[in-house]
């Protein structure tokens, strides 16, 4: 026998009570209503007067829960049978119940209660408690939220509202060093078109990761699609990475309203939460190392990758290891490109996010990427070597690096984008460097021209320095400029002193083996002061 429609039951009950009040109610009326509603006559009599006592003194079905009954339901964690056992023990004077003491507050509240059957009490809890109450006392707050009903936001236009969130991906990957880990993904999703405008995958999320994902959403890049503009508002959760001063100041400096959502309200950014589930269902479940897959009786994942602690600790030397984080990034990049440009979204009328974006005529506010360098993820310091800057297994080069060999510089980059890096020297932006293996002919010529110009500049500086040095050192050594020695004759006294000095040196240079000077070979010339 199925459950009676509540509206039909209320209508039938109201009619029967009208007949009872006027003294016209008969058993035939009850029989007709029972047949029409598909219930027993006894049930129909209960509809008319649910509180009428039975011959055995027990209350009829339709029992109304008291505050004590509700408190007991919470105390016994949603176990209606345990509530009935404790209640019957107090009423019958046989407490404690099943060897378990009954709280005094419950025992005092049930002192004068009427007995009910366990079936009646279960039915009362099922009928008079909402699914949210039942879930709360049985499973907790998260289960209660599953029974909540939420408001739906009105439709927005493209790039007006972003939703940003972190998600620890359910997949094991190998980091550059160490044991396998589950990486984190930072996601920025457009509310109106469901387009993934920015993302980043790292081992641990931080403010730099958030800034990088936001910058990706701000910069227009034709290779990623038509996306890239300044939004009006960004919804973020209360994670410390999103709440950092660097993130808040960077967004507010662009005139973007930052809406920080209350804690534990994932439904208020439901689109990005749904995207994470789509990513897991479509991509991650097909990759090795997915931790949400089926397991055997010992808890081991079905497949080549074992995520148990002992296996993870030995993964570096094992024959079968999870994929590297760089491989995961490549897979996610390809999938995101497909999702944005080809995935037919039901909420978009069967269009892809890119098509929905292009069909929206709302004006976009774009900013020159060079003005957004401060939003890049800061990398480690590097030393400029002979062939440029070594970073992420590539060698980057730029004309501005000429003459800076051996200098320590700071590198900023976009994760998952090795097409260029930004180089800073002493806190100031120096240049944009590109992989040497992928330089265009124009970039190669620019680099060579810069090398020639730098060499020319240094040679000119060297010549200037030489001229200045000669002018400064000549007076210190007593030597006159060559031009003056040709125009001004030497004094007579100076000439006599020079000749005497030459004769003395000649005499010293011609000696015997005993070191004696032979005066016959080098006679000393006596000269008078007044020839």
d(CA 385, CA 407): 8
Instruction: Please provide the size of the chain in residues.
Output: 531
Give the Cα separation of 94 and 73 in Å (integer). Answer: 20
Residue 492, pLDDT score? 56
In angstroms, the CA 505 to CA 508 distance is 5
pLDDT tens sequence across 208-256: 788 888 988 998 988 888 999 999 999 988 777 777 777 888 888 888 9
All CATH 3.30.420.10 domain ranges of the chain, comma separated, are 161-359
Q: What is the pLDDT of residue 145?
A: 82
- Where is 428: in which H helix or E strand? strand 428-435
Q: Where are the beta strands (DSSP E) in 169-226?
A: 184-190, 196-202
58, 42 Cβ separation under 8 angstroms: no
Tell me phi and psi for residue 190, to 5 degrees: -80, 130
Pairing of strands 161-168, 408-414: unpaired
144 vs 5, 238, 254, CA distance in Å? 26, 21, 39
Residue 279 neighbours by CB under 8 Å, 6+ apart: 185, 332, 335
143 C-beta neighbours (distance < 10 Å), count = 15
Pair 38, 72: CB distance under 8 Å: no
* DSSP assignment letter at 299: S
How many other CB atoms are there within 10 angstroms of residue 414's CB atom? 20
Give the integer Cα–Cα distance in Å for 373 and 366.
Answer: 15
CB 128 within 8 A of CB 158: no
List, for the chain, all residue ranges whose pLDDT scores fall below the cut of 50: 54-61, 482-488, 490, 509-531
Give the pLDDT score at 474.
Answer: 64
8 A C-beta contact, residue 433 and residue 410: no
**Using CA atoms, how far apart are residues 193 and 190, in angstroms rounded to an integer?**
6
Q: Are 236 and 242 in contact (CB under 8 A)?
A: yes
Q: What is the per-residue pLDDT for 377?
A: 60
What φ, ψ does residue 205 adopt, rounded to 5°? -70, 145
Q: How do residues 383-409 score in pLDDT, each as one tens digit?
A: 999 889 998 888 999 988 888 889 999
Are the CB atoms for 375 and 216 separated by under 8 Å?
no
- What pLDDT sits at residue 178? 83
Spell out the residues 6+ positions from residue 58 whose beta carbon is closer than 8 angstroms to its own. 114, 115, 116, 117
The correct CATH number of 161-359 out of 3.40.50.2000, 3.30.70.990, 3.40.50.300, 3.30.420.10 is 3.30.420.10
Strands 196-202 and 184-190: antiparallel
């Amino acid at each position: 026998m199925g459950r009676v429609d509540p509206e039909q039951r209320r209508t039938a009950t109201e009619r029967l009570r009208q007949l009872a009040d006027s003294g016209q109610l008969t058993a035939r009326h009850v029989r007709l209503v029972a047949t029409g509603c598909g219930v027993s006559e006894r049930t129909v009599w209960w509809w008319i007067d649910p509180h009428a006592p039975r011959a055995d003194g027990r209350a009829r079905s339709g029992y109304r829960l008291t505050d004590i009954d509700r408190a007991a339901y919470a105390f016994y964690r949603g176990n209606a049978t345990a509530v009935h056992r404790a209640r019957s023990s107090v009423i019958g004077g046989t407490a404690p119940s099943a060897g378990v003491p009954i709280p005094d507050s419950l025992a005092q509240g049930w002192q004068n209660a009427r007995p009910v059957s366990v079936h009646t009490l279960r039915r009362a809890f099922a009928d008079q408690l909402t699914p949210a109450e039942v879930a709360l006392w049985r499973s907790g707050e998260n289960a209660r939220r599953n029974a909540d009903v939420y408001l739906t936001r009105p439709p927005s236009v493209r790039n007006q509202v972003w939703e940003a969130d972190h998600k620890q991906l359910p997949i094991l990957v190998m980091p550059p060093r160490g044991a396998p880990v589950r990486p984190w993904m930072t996601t920025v999703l457009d509310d109106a078109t469901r387009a993934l405008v920015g993302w980043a995958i790292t081992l641990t999320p931080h403010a730099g990761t958030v800034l990088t994902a936001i910058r990706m959403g701000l910069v227009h890049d034709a290779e990623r699609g038509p996306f890239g503009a300044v939004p009006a508002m960004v919804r973020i959760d209360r994670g410390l990475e999103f709440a950092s001063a660097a993130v808040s100041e960077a967004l507010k400096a662009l005139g973007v309203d930052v809406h920080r959502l209350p804690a534990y309200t994932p439904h208020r950014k439901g689109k990005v939460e749904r995207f994470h589930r789509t990513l897991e269902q479509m991509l991650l479940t097909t990759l090795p190392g997915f931790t949400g897959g089926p397991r055997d009786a010992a808890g081991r994942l079905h497949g080549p990758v074992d995520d148990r602690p002992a296996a993870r600790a030995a993964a570096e030397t094992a024959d079968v290891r999870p994929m590297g984080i760089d491989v995961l990034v490549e897979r996610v990049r390809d999938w995101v490109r497909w999702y944005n440009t080809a995935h037919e979204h039901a909420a978009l009328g069967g269009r892809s996010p890119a098509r929905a974006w292009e069909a929206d005529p709302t004006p976009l506010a774009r900013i020159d990427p060079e003005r957004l360098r401060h939003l890049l993820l800061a990398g480690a310091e590097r030393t400029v070597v002979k062939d440029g800057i070594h970073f992420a297994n590539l060698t980057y080069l730029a004309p501005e690096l000429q003459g800076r060999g051996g200098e320590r510089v700071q590198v900023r980059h976009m994760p998952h984008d090795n097409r260029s890096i930004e180089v800073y020297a002493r806190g100031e932006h120096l240049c944009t460097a590109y992989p040497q293996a992928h330089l265009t002919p124009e970039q190669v010529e620019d680099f060579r021209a810069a090398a020639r110009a730098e060499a020319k500049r240094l040679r000119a500086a060297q010549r200037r320095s030489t001229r200045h040095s000669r002018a400064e050192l000549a007076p210190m050594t007593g030597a006159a400029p060559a031009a003056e020695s040709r125009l001004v004759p030497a004094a007579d006294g100076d000439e006599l002193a020079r000749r005497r000095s030459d004769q003395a040196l000649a005499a010293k240079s011609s000696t015997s083996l005993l070191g004696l000077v032979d005066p016959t070979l080098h006679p000393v010339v006596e000269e008078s002061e007044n020839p």
